[in-house]
Structure 1
Amino acid sequence: FQEAHAKFFSHIGGVYQQMVYDNMRVAVKRLAGSEKEPTEALLQLSLYYGFQFRFCNVCSGNEKGHVERSVDVVRRKAFASQYRFDSLESANEHLSAVCGRLNRKPQSNREGRSADECLQTEREYLFKGLPPFDAARVEHPRVDKYSTICVDKNHYSVPDSLVGKKIMVKIYSGRILCFHGDKQVAEHARTLESCQWVIKLEHFLDTFKRKPGALATSIAMKQAPQALTRIYESYYKGQEKDFIALVQEFSAGLTLDETKTAITELEAMGVRHVTTDNIKLICARNKDKRARCEILSTNGSEDISEHAMEQLRQYDALLHTGSVELKAVSA
């Protein structure tokens, strides 16, 4: 409820001065005749954004007639022809695209203006937008012996150094953020199922350092990205400690795409064994290449050019490769 408001106000770029609500439980705490007591969630939104609110009368559909069939309109316009999607995100992207197309369409009942044009006129009367309201449910669970915390009957992993400690968890509609002290220690996509284990490999590196043999059959490995599991199966079986060192590099800024590119280059060079040190070396060389090319494009100094070439020669010496690529770069 709160997150929908925050996203809506951010989307339109302002806040309406008054909001009108049906008598739904998330907005109305208690009905007492004609008196209605708002919920804490609605009061928090009203105080933060500064809008006033009122409620419709009971059994008075005429007071909100223009929204009664809005769900039916969305269903027909957006999901009549396409109703299967790979993920909730792709469904939302499709819905956003359809709504955008409808909102740009001229409407006869609005003197030929589109909904987007009418909204632009309304913006002059809206309150100024604020940073989105932090609509999160906050809990303070203790990390169990499996290095997970339980939220709504689902387990989410956190770094194994936090076992036995209490942490703060902010629960949103689609994600979960975990904090220890003033530092964010984990982030997960929130699962809508029940009794699931959502595990990230990087949260158990200290454990796998002590028990590398447990890596291959662990839940953490099974839930790792497929590209990463393929790298393990192709190059690191029996070298679990070196693979753990590779995963640690991801927290230092190394990306999976850079890793795959480095492995491809190592194979093209004929390197017999792919190791984490070789991957790091290739990635560092590629970054230096890009940096030197940028410098050379803005400053044609021969001294800078020669210094760049010398560094690339040192990388080639470490990798035991030739100077074919150096000539290409030089050219």
Structure 2
Amino acid sequence: MKTSQSKVDLYAAIRRDHRGGMSLRGLQGKYNVTWRTVRRAVDGQWPEPRRQQRRRGSRLDPYKPLIDGFLQADLDEPAKQRHTAQRIFDRLVDEHGADDISYPMVRTYVKDRRPQVRREAGIGPQAMFVPQTHPPGAQAEVDFGEIHALLDGELTRLYLFSLRLSYSGKAVHRVFATSGQEAFFEGHVHAFRVLGGVSRMHIRYDNLRAAVERVIGFYRDRKEADRWTAFRSHWGIEPFYCRPGLEGAHEKGGVEGQIGYFRRNHFVPVPEVASLTELNALVDQWDQADEGRRLRGRTRTVGDCFAAEQPLLRPLPIEVFETGRWFTPGVDRYSQISVRGNAYSVPVRFIGRQLRVLLHANDLIVYDGRTVVTRHERLGGRHGSRLVLDHYLEALLRKPGAFPGSTALEQARSAGRFTPVHDKWWSAAKAAHGEAAGTRPLPSVARYDQLLKRFGHTAGKKEGS
């Protein structure tokens, strides 16, 4: 008898030969089986099922009730504060002296047991996913994610905008100081220009306040912000709003996963940059490099898929849409204007006047009529200030005693614009002419960076000689 022959086939062969006249003893010899097996086959009995081998005990068995207790308690805990397999293993070792078990044993048991505990508690599966097919050029997804970077030496929370094409997986990113409407618009404009078009069918969004003022009802109806309606109409965007909450996040899982990938692979370790402009230049390089990725289950790279998708995108409009917002703040007695809860300096000659401000996502431009007065990098959050020492030179010329403790001077020092060379020159002037007389010439220089050019080279020569 062949070893690969099943028991059903064996019984069938014995019955066939018995009907052909072979004796029971002859059948025993031919098939090398016992008389009882031949008798059962001839009598037409179905083969008995293979007996289950008795499972050997495991060193984990004494701890399984404890693990089940952890998993059952997790059903009532917040989703992000439930036990992982690693945490369960650590607790078993630390609290119950389970030194005879290993982490892989716990991980395997937790993986199989967790869904069983949910079913036993009457809770359905944690998530259900339906595979989707995305035609090229048809759909995209947009979202923001939080990141941190060492910006000019200070750890700063920033916001990563991401627009991802659903077919190719090509994503474009931009870092902003805020996640407000200006950043939302500018992220779109940058992405569309890089991609060279707009998806033809729709773009998926969650309920960002930059776009949605109010969710109406339970499903897809939204009250949109007026500027967003004008913006999407200009670019030909057809929005698809995901359901509120965690369920809606699964409806744009592509961009959710993309932000996580981008953050883990390009913002670890935390990058150190001097400005947002420098950081966004790096982001552009990383976007280009990521075109060499191969997404799971694909044989072609993201760049190859995008090359096929790009000609199918809707062409960009010729007209320009201004993404910034205009404000008309007044200049207070500290020569500052207030925009979105933050203070920015302007030259003291504008005190008491009203100026026009064009606010962008990462900077703002101050106008007097059509003349540009100054530019500032935008501050995130509220109650911050960005002061430029140059703006106070005229006032400091009249009040030199206010110069040493001025906020503008401290910010200039922190930013490296008021250097040790300046301090050395200032100290020498005070030693020669006294406190007031020695301070008065410093702000009288039209721009203090000219002082560096005039005295820095000479000072450097003397120190090196």
TM-score > 0.5 by shorter chain: yes
Aligned counterparts, 1:168-187, within 5 A:
168-187=356-375
**Whole-angstrom CA distance in 2 between matches of 1:149 and 1:268:** 39
What is the Cα deviation at residue 146 of structure 1?
0.7
What is the Cα deviation at residue 187 of structure 1?
1.5
- Alpha carbons 1:6, 1:133 under 8 Å: kept: no
Question: Which residue matches 1:304?
Answer: none
Pair 1:48-2:240 in alignment: no
Helix, strand or coil for the counterpart of 2:259? helix
Helix, strand or coil for the counterpart of 1:223? helix
Question: Which residue matches 1:28?
Answer: 212
Query: Gaps spanning 5+ residues in structure 1: where?
Result: 251-255, 271-331
- Alpha carbons 2:234, 2:317 under 8 Å: kept: no
Q: Which has the larger radius of gyration?
A: 2
Kindly, what percent of the aligned residue pairs are identical?
23
Helix, strand or coil for the counterpart of 1:226? coil
One of 307, 329, 336 as aligned partner of 1:141: 329
Deviation digits for residues 91-149 of structure 1 (CA, Å, limit 9, x no counterpart):
6566554443322234574432x222322332212313657643223221111011101
Helix, strand or coil for the counterpart of 1:184? strand
One of 125, 136, 156 as aligned partner of 2:312: 125
Pair 1:64-2:248 in alignment: no
Question: Which residue matches 1:201?
Answer: 389
One of 394, 411, 424 as aligned partner of 1:223: 411
Query: Gaps spanning 5+ residues in structure 2: where?
Result: 1-183, 431-437
**Whole-angstrom CA distance in 1 between matches of 2:302 and 2:343:** 44
CA spacing shift, 1:227–1:139, aligned 2, 3 Å:
closer
Pair 1:244-2:443 in alignment: yes
**Whole-angstrom CA distance in 2 between matches of 1:106 and 1:21:** 23
- Alpha carbons 1:10, 1:129 under 8 Å: kept: no
What is the Cα deviation at residue 240 of structure 1?
4.1
Runs of 4+ displaced beyond 6 Å: none
What is the Cα deviation at residue 191 of structure 1?
2.1
Question: Which residue matches 1:263?
Answer: 455
Letter in 2 for 1:174: N
TM-score, with length taken from structure 1: 0.65
Pair 1:234-2:433 in alignment: no
What is the Cα deviation at residue 16 of structure 1?
2.8
One of 271, 282, 290 as aligned partner of 1:102: 290
What is the Cα deviation at residue 154 of structure 1?
2.1
**Whole-angstrom CA distance in 2 between matches of 1:54 and 1:214:** 56
TM-score, with length taken from structure 2: 0.48
Letter in 2 for 1:12: L
- Alpha carbons 2:340, 2:382 under 8 Å: kept: yes
Helix, strand or coil for the counterpart of 1:20? strand
